[in-house]
């Protein structure tokens, strides 16, 4: 994609109609295709955006509703320049459980306390965004150059890999269904005709679901899909709103998550920039601000903290459609779905094997995008500084190394992020001569 800067069009971007090839952020497909691709993004984020609140004891429909609201807020603040969907952030799970003493089953009885802490994290995040907007983004680049941001993006995909494998391997039958789903997605992405090639996740998921239904419910070869909750769910219902409460301990536990959200958002912007061939760094401050404000608004009504969504990077990587119009459509659909318990119940009937297959594709593409950042920025891995930084980050993230600091648990993505930042800064003082004289023991043969 050309790297021509088209940003002198005013605050908001516009969309030029384009019917084929790579679709840039300021371009759009015909309306019919745009709506279908928007639905595909909803499907891609739905599993995690439902799973996240369930793990924290939040109401899934409320989380879906506020993910749509948050996405629209993000779009308005970035002026439609950065293609992104905001969904439930997994970075909050451990600290919310600790702050609210959540047992892990049913609805969280102390959700109000958790919401107060999430609002505090959103405020810290918003302040960071304002600082970046006023002081510029260069200091962020100094802390997190391409070798670090590429590692963070790769770590996000690798850290999520066990989730995909766990879903896919519930049983041997689920493993085969995951493989069928993966094969369906791959074949559609490569061989499907015309517009269908742009919907590999949506169509692959439907094919995997139908195949599972035939062999499990029809032939009894696997655990049958249970449609009881779907039948009992209402078609229309209001999301469950909750008023937050502010507790000092909860705030101290949850507010530091803002730093991890900065790293996630930075990685997202860098990844999208790498995929589109456009430098989006100038909008980092706006992106942080949009994510922070969206998190505050979501937690004010009972939603989870939100973040730029990893799954949607995967969808964009597969489809090569980066139009920001797609995310307005996805947001509107998510808001409407927040009022439809029936649809939420339908999505929750997706078998583990099918979800695992989709997650394998999406999370793998996220990890691969980290490598793309290194390649496009010509990161030199003959330098031990870069090699060691990435090596440590990848193992910390993939192994989910958790560091307990007082009452705050820093999970694998956090330890990998801070580890990469700190290690790179410690090593960047090396002279050019030292960089040229690498230790032979670091030159590991594959």
Distance of CA 53 to the CA centre of its chain: 14
- Domain assignment present for residue 187? The answer is yes
- Domain assignment present for residue 16? The answer is no
- Domain assignment present for residue 109? The answer is yes
The answer to whether residue 390 scores a pLDDT higher than 70 is: yes
Q: Which of 161, 232, 180 is nearest to 398 (CA)?
A: 161
The answer to whether residue 313 scores a pLDDT higher than 50 is: yes
pTM: 0.72
The answer to whether residue 402 scores a pLDDT higher than 90 is: no
**Rounded to an integer, what distance in angstroms lies between the CA atom of residue 268 and that of residue 163?**
20
- Domain assignment present for residue 389? The answer is no
> Mind listing the pLDDT tens digit for each residue in 155-185?
878 887 887 888 899 899 999 999 999 999 9
- Tokens representing 411 are 């999970």
Mean pLDDT for the stretch of residues 404-432: 78
- Domain assignment present for residue 204? The answer is yes
- Tokens representing 7 are 């940003």
- Domain assignment present for residue 149? The answer is yes
Distance of CA 288 to the CA centre of its chain: 15
- Tokens representing 306 are 């939100």
Count how many residues are written for the chain. Answer: 446
Which segment of 11-25, 220-234, 401-415 scores lowest on mean pLDDT?
A: 401-415
Token pair 């995967």 in the structure block, residue:
314
- Domain assignment present for residue 434? The answer is no
> Mind listing the pLDDT tens digit for each residue in 83-118?
889 988 877 876 787 788 887 666 788 899 999 999
- Domain assignment present for residue 2? The answer is no
Cross-strand pairs, 27: 16
**Rounded to an integer, what distance in angstroms lies between the CA atom of residue 235 and that of residue 239?**
12
**Rounded to an integer, what distance in angstroms lies between the CA atom of residue 304 and that of residue 77?**
20
Domain that holds residue 35: 23-377
pLDDT attached to residue 125: 95
258 neighbors 128 (Cβ within 8 angstroms): yes
pLDDT attached to residue 8: 52
**Rounded to an integer, what distance in angstroms lies between the CA atom of residue 41 and that of residue 330?**
6
User: How many domains does one find in the chain?
Assistant: 1
Cross-strand pairs, 28: 17
Which segment of 151-160, 233-242, 391-400 scores lowest on mean pLDDT?
A: 151-160
156 neighbors 264 (Cβ within 8 angstroms): yes
């Amino acid at each position: 994609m050309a790297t021509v800067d088209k940003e002198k069009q005013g605050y908001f971007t516009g969309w030029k109609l384009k019917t084929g090839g790579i679709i840039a952020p300021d371009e759009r497909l015909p309306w019919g295709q745009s709506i279908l691709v928007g639905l595909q993004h909803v499907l891609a984020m739905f599993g995690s955006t439902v799973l996240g609140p369930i793990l924290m004891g939040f109401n899934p429909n409320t989380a879906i509703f506020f993910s749509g609201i948050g996405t629209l807020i993000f779009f308005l603040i970035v002026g439609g320049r950065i293609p992104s969907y905001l969904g439930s952030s997994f970075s909050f799970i451990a600290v919310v459980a600790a702050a609210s003493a959540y047992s892990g089953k049913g609805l969280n009885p102390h959700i109000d306390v958790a919401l107060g802490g999430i609002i505090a994290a959103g405020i810290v995040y918003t302040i960071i965004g304002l600082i970046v907007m006023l002081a510029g983004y260069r200091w962020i680049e100094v802390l997190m150059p391409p070798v670090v941001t590429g590692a963070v993006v790769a770590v996000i995909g690798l850290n999520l890999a066990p989730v995909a494998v766990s879903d896919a391997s519930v049983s041997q039958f689920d493993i085969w269904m995951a493989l069928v789903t993966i094969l369906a997605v791959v074949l559609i992405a490569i061989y499907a005709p015309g517009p269908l090639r742009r919907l590999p996740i949506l169509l692959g998921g439907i094919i995997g679901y139908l195949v599972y239904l035939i062999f499990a419910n029809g032939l009894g070869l696997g655990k049958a899909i249970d449609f009881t909750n779907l039948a009992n769910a209402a078609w229309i219902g209001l999301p469950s709103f909750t008023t937050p409460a502010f507790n000092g301990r909860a705030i101290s536990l949850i507010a530091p998550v803002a730093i991890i959200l900065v790293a996630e958002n930075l990685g997202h912007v860098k990844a999208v920039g790498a995929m589109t061939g456009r430098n989006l760094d100038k909008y980092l401050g706006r992106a942080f601000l949009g994510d922070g404000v969206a998190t505050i608004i979501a937690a004010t009504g009972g939603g989870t903290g939100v973040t730029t969504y990893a799954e949607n990077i995967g969808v964009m990587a597969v489809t090569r459609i980066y139009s920001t119009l797609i995310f307005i459509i996805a947001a509107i659909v998510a808001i409407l779905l927040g009022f439809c318990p029936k649809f939420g119940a339908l999505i929750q009937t997706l078998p583990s094997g099918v979800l695992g297959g989709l997650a394998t594709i999406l999370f793998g593409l996220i990890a691969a995008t980290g490598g793309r950042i290194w390649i496009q920025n010509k990161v030199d891995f003959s330098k031990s500084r870069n090699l060691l930084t990435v090596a440590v980050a990848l193992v910390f993230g993939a192994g989910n190394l958790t560091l307990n600091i007082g009452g705050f648990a820093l999970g694998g993505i956090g330890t990998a992020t801070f580890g990469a930042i700190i290690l790179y800064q410690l090593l960047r003082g090396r002279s050019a001569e030292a960089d040229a004289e690498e230790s032979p023991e670091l030159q590991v043969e594959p």
